[in-house]
Amino acid sequence: MALWIYGINPVYEALRSDRCQIREVWVAEGRGPKGLEGIISRAQSEKIPISKVERSKLDSLTKNAPHQGVVGFIDQWAYADLDEVFQGGEGEPFLLILDGIEDPRNLGALIRTADACGVWGVIIPKDRAVGITPVVAKSSAGAVFHIPVVHVTNIPTTVRRIKERGIWVAGAAAEAQTDLYHNDLTVPLAVVIGGEGRGMRPLVKRECDLLISIPMKGKINSLNASVAGSIILYEVLRQRGHTPHP
């Protein structure tokens, strides 16, 4: 699909990615080269046109989002399919399933964390959830161009397909009796994070092999979806013996 993106990191990562193709880059007139060196160098080496345009044009296109003076236009970007996800992972299978994330910033943040934690692929539903947008690309800092994102019609059916491959499915649920620190997350695993506010839908929850919670001591009994997802993904990484560099 065609997609425009904004911001230094998303444009640079899209240029580095072999999952998409940028056809043109716009830079705001008067914008100095600082921070854009990588973008300019890569675009020039791949003979991608760079056009100087009035900053107001970028402001209008992005609705005054923090575009940092640069926008890229992508001709070809496609969602992955589930089979593709299983062809490119390293180590034990590790998937992230998002059951109805509606805030593009939450989706972008989760994709960014998933990439950092070595997740093989991110699965999102087509309905009642946000897809890949310029805001998602910006919030992911361009990670969306490096990790497969699968768009599926039915999350429960997809969960069953994943389980048929011998992968355990762990759903994040505040009411779970066992917290994530007392579960073995080193097994082939798919983590399910529910939508903002409502959490996982009952049909999806029933398909999970186990439910896990995050210990909390305050008066608020829930976390932002992207924060909760990040805590769980990093616990998987920790248990698997790949402690991230500080």
CATH assignment of 3-77?
3.30.1330.30
The pLDDT of residue 239 is above 70? yes
Domain with CATH 3.30.1330.30 in the chain: 3-77
The pLDDT of residue 229 is above 50? yes
CATH class name, domain 82-239: alpha beta
pLDDT at 18: 87
pTM of the model: 0.93
The pLDDT of residue 34 is above 50? yes
What would the mean pLDDT of 47-74 be, rounded to a whole number?
Answer: 96
pLDDT at 220: 77
The pLDDT of residue 243 is above 70? no
The pLDDT of residue 244 is above 70? no
Amino acid (1-letter code) at residue 138 = K
Q: How many residues does the chain have?
A: 246
Domain with CATH 3.40.1280.10 in the chain: 82-239
Task: List C-alpha distances in Å: 64 to 51, 56, 59, 78, 136.
Answer: 19, 9, 4, 26, 16
What would the mean pLDDT of 142-165 be, rounded to a whole number?
Answer: 96
Contacts of 84 (CB under 8 A, 6+ apart): 121, 148
Q: Distance between CA atoms of 59 and 57, rounded to whole angstroms? A: 5
pLDDT-derived band at 246, boundaries 50, 70, 90:
very low
pLDDT at 191: 98
Angle between helix axes 37-45 and 8-16 (nearest 10 degrees) is: 30
pLDDT-derived band at 242, boundaries 50, 70, 90:
low
pLDDT at 2: 86
pLDDT at 74: 96
Helices and strands counted in the chain (H then E): 9, 10
The pLDDT of residue 245 is above 80? no
What would the mean pLDDT of 112-131 be, rounded to a whole number?
Answer: 96
CA 163 to chain centre: 22
What would the mean pLDDT of 197-205 be, rounded to a whole number?
Answer: 92
The pLDDT of residue 76 is above 90? no
CA 36 to chain centre: 24
